[in-house]
Amino acid sequence: SGIEARYESRGYGDFKKDLGEVVVEALSPIRERALELLDDPKELDDLLESGAEGASEVAHATLRDAWTRMGLD
């Protein structure tokens, strides 16, 4: 593959360094958003509340389905 050919004559350290840079770049937007949320506790609380409501709806639907399949409804 292209990656194997690119690093074939280079050391493992070069690969690790380049991979680290790719990972940092890929995670940068997530880190930036996390820092924004930490700077705005109200927005963070609103987001967590919204996520909890959505998770609760999914959980209730899953439990209803499980109860029905077990004949407990």
Burial of 69 (0-12, 13-18, 19+ CB in 10 A): exposed
User: What is the model's pLDDT at position 54?
Assistant: 97
What's the pLDDT at 46? 97
Domain locations in the chain as residue ranges: 1-39, 41-73
Q: State how far the Cα of 32 lies from the Cα of 38, in Å rounded to an integer.
A: 10
Quote the pTM value. Answer: 0.59
Q: Please tell me the predicted confidence (pLDDT) of residue 73.
A: 84
Average the pLDDT over 64-69 and give the result. 97
pLDDT digits (tens, 9 = 90+) for 16-34: 999 999 999 999 999 999 9
Q: Is the per-residue pLDDT at 1 higher than 80?
A: no
Question: What does the mean pLDDT of the chain come to?
Answer: 95
